[in-house]
Amino acid sequence: MAGMTTPGPPTEPPEAERAVDCRGLSHRFGDHLAVDDVSLWIAPGEVFGLLGPNGAGKTTTIRLLTTLLPLRQGRARVFGLDPGRRPMRVRRLLGYVPQELSADGSLTGRENVMLFARLFDVPRAQRWERVTEVLAAMELTEAADRVVAGYSGGMVRRLELAQALVNRPRLLVLDEPTIGLDPVARSGVWERITELRAATGMTVLMTTHYMDEADALCDRVALMHRGRLRALGAPAELKDQLGPGASLEDVFRHYTGDHLGDAGRQGGLRDVRRTRRTAGRLG
């Protein structure tokens, strides 16, 4: 990630111009309060990171914003639209790369992206060009006509990004985009995202366990713990508040009482399991 810089935290835009705006967002699974009174905004063009230990409520928050869970408590807007009332219009503005594998290993890269182009109603006359364009942006031109079962983990992730991008989304939502990837593959994924953001001004909402990644790439981060937001700000601000020499991981530990250990830096058993599950499904 050397040499990658972010432009710094945005100033608070008027409500109508926010990419994401939520207030008092809560969600229960039975008796369990998975998201507890979350309020935040994201500026257009911002890269915003949701950080937190396993079970903090990050994926649930993302699912509420992306129309995958019903909004029962609180208010949410995506580019001014209510995901509860206008789910189809919100979905057209989104590209979503979930944690789970979203590519079909038995198809080629191009066939996978073509499926998404059809799903998103990309006009037939533009499909081939659009698919070729996103595959090239993710550096998959050479591999495009090979079956995905033979792709590396990093290539699969870049393919899933191509799938999410074929719709030309205004908001790209990434749930643990680099989990289980080696450092080279991780920076390959991030370089593509950074280039794309520079070229299109797209807004990115991501979750990650990798503090170095969040520090280098996010304009602002929100730390979640047990469903609640514990801190929100630019990585530099949060580190300064803690004291000289503090890392984002120190900030994380301070607010959550948890620490990521090797799982945060290298990819732990959880990552290995996830990677194996992915490999199993592709093989």
Based on the shown chain and the rule CB under 6 A, indicate whether residue 34 belongs to the binding site for ligand ATP. yes
**Binding residues for ligand ATP restricted to 68-127, rule: CB under 6 A:** none
Residue choice 58, 192, 225, 230 for contact with ligand ATP (CB under 6 A): 58
**Structure-token pair, residue 159:** 């393919």
Contact call for residue 57 and ligand ATP (CB under 6 A): yes
Q: Which residues contact 254 (CB under 8 A, 6 or more apart)?
A: 242
Q: Supply the minimum distance, in Å, between the C-beta of residue 30 and ligand ATP.
A: 7
CA dihedral 251, 211, 5, 174 (to 10 degrees): -120
Buried b (16+ CB within 10 A) or exposed e, 16-34: eebbbbbeebbbeeeeebb
Is residue 189 a contact partner of residue 197, using CB atoms and an 8 Å limit? no
User: What is the rounded distance in angstroms from the CA atom of residue 244 to the CA atom of residue 280?
Assistant: 45
| 7, 29, 257, 277: residue in contact with ligand ATP (rule CB under 6 A) | 29
Q: Which is nearer to ligand ATP, 118 or 276 (CB)?
A: 276
What SS3 class is residue 132?
A: helix
CB of 58 to ligand ATP, least distance (A): 4
- Interface residue with ligand ATP, options 54, 126, 141, 241 (CB under 6 A): 54
- Using CB under 6 A as the binding rule, whether residue 60 contacts ligand ATP is answered as yes
* Alpha-carbon span 19 to 45, nearest angstrom: 8
Closest CA to 209 of 269, 164, 153: 269
- What is the DSSP code (8-state) at residue 106? T
Least CB distance from residue 71 to ligand ATP, whole Å? Answer: 15
Applying CB under 6 A, the span of 1-9, 57-65, 152-160, 213-221 interacting with ligand ATP comes to 57-65
Of 29 and 128, the one with the shorter C-beta distance to ligand ATP is 29
Q: Which of 52, 83, 154, 264 is close enough to bind ligand ATP by CB under 6 A?
A: 52
Q: How many residues bind ligand ATP (CB under 6 A)?
A: 11
Site residues for ligand ATP per CB under 6 A: 29, 32, 34, 52, 54-60
